A = this chain, B = another copy of it.
Amino acid sequence: MSYTELKRQVYEANMELQRRNLVIYTFGNVSQVDRQKGVVAIKPSGVSYDLLKVEDIVIVDMENAIVEGSMRPSSDTKTHTHLYRKFDNIGGVTHTHSTYATAWAQAKKSIPCFGTTHADYVHGEISCTRELTDAQINGDYEEETGAQIVDSYAHKDPMAAPMVIVAGHAPFTWGKDANQSVYHAALLEEIARMAYLTRTLDHSAQPLNQAILDKHYLRKHGKDAYYGQNK
């Protein structure tokens, strides 16, 4: 893929964040990796969506050095590249401070799988990371945020749970490309909102049992999936 096409896809995915009401002002950023070229395209830091142009998208290498672009890349770039280096089956990453997902992050709680809307996309709870230690915060903060996320996936395939919430901070989501990572960000926000309502309606609400959780996930994913037109 040419840098121009990569930047265009990343630009479109970033603009979708605003259309889906997942960001205000300059919040949020989306990236996409080109693994053959070893580069990542990402939103520039602190630019408003109303002013963002395709050519503003910054190309960096896997170690965060700027390859092409006149602007400074997102201040969260190191978290994105960390995820691309550690999760070799993901192609795009989205970071937002979407309201309900961020509320769960601020409460430092994983989101229980209360229903099939959740089970259709994530096979189990949506994890909240452990909190960063003071040493991690005062060290390479954005790199450590990535490391903390990866830590939550020791026993889990990143694509079977393409969304995570960082304790005290906000969500990160990913997918096969930038566009799908935004799709997962929008789904996470809706799942987080439904889970908030469920929990406040009944503080002792219980998650789905394993049988239905498996059923819904496997209806949409894996070799026997029967949802949609492309199987």
Residues of A near any B CB (own CB < 8 A): 24-27, 44-47, 71-72, 75, 97, 99-100, 102-109, 114-117, 131-132, 134, 137-138, 141, 168-170, 183, 186-187, 190, 193-202, 205, 208-209, 211-212, 215, 219, 226-230
**What are the 9 tightest A-B residue pairs by CB atom distance, in nearest-first order?**
A46-B228, A103-B197, A106-B114, A106-B115, A106-B198, A134-B211, A137-B211, A107-B202, A107-B201
- Return chain B residues, CB-CB under 8 Å to A193: 99
Q: List 28 A-B contacts (CB under 8 A).
A: A24-B190, A25-B186, A25-B187, A26-B228, A44-B229, A46-B227, A46-B229, A72-B228, A72-B229, A97-B117, A99-B190, A100-B197, A106-B194, A106-B195, A106-B197, A106-B198, A107-B114, A107-B201, A108-B205, A115-B170, A116-B168, A132-B212, A134-B211, A137-B211, A137-B212, A141-B215, A200-B200, A200-B201
Contact present for B209 and A99 (CB under 8 Å) = no
Complex CA–CA separation, A60 to B182 (angstroms): 34
Q: Distance in Å from the Cβ of A200 to the closest Cβ of chain B?
A: 6
Shortest Cβ distance from A138 into B: residue: B211
Shortest distance between the CB of A206 and any CB in chain B (Å): 8
CB neighbours (8 Å) of A141 from chain B are 215, 219
A208 touches B116 (CB 8 A): no
Given contacts A168-B212, A197-B99, A205-B106, contact A227 B114 (CB under 8 A): no
B residues in contact with A230, CB < 8 Å: 46
Chain B's closest residue to A219 (CB) is B75
Determine if A24 and B138 form an interchain contact, defined as CB atoms under 8 angstroms apart. no
- Contact: B137 with A226, CB < 8 Å? no
Residues of B within 8 A of A226 (CB): 45, 72, 75
Interface centre among A72, A104, A183, A194 (most CB of B within 10 A): A194
Cβ–Cβ contact B117 & A102, under 8 A: yes
Report how far A137 CA is from B214 CA in the complex, Å.
9
Report the bound CA distance from A186 to B25 in whole Å. Answer: 10
CB distance from A33 to the nearest CB of B (A): 23
A26, A99, A168, A198 — most chain B CB neighbours (10 Å): A168
Nearest-CB distance from A64 to chain B (Å)?
A: 12
